[in-house]
Amino acid sequence: MNHPTQGPKRLTRSRDDKVVSGLCGGLARYLNMDPSLVRILTVVLTLVTSGAALLVYVIALLVVPEDDRVSPPPPRVPPTAWPPQPPSGVAGPAPQDPVWGREGAPWEQPQVGAPVTDRPVGPGRPEDDR
């Protein structure tokens, strides 16, 4: 059985998952954790240890090498028109508003159960003549 063997895991600073220096992103990849969790734990440790973890972070920043792997650029997504239109020649439902939905904003919808009166509005109403 010939299995390709990989060398031991290396702790490196991440090039593609970096907020400050890529140290937390690299540590997350090394530990197989979520990078956000590592960043939160770093902040909590810094607060709990009164800044000693920040000193360890700076030392690790100087000691841990940067990742030598080059990640491919993210795929380019072509821009799309909003709201999406049905294909030409196909009758579809009315376009949907991205925020309020197909019915539109609340002030554009007919009011259900609102009293309808035939009385004039404004001056000249019977109540105003008293």
pLDDT digits (tens, 9 = 90+) for 59-70: 999 998 888 876
Grouping H, G, I as helix, E, B as strand and the rest as coil, residue 126 is helix
Joined together, the tokens standing for residue 6 give 């990989």
Within the chain, which residues score under 70 in pLDDT? 1-5, 70-74, 79-98, 100, 102, 104, 111-130
- Looking up tokens 């105003």 gives 128
Amino acid, res. 90: V
Rounded distance between C-alpha atoms, residue 17 and residue 40, angstroms:
15
Rounded distance between C-alpha atoms, residue 18 and residue 25, angstroms:
6
C-alpha separations of 128 from 116, 118, 119, 122, 123 in Å: 20, 16, 12, 9, 7
pLDDT score, position 22: 87
- Looking up tokens 């002030």 gives 107
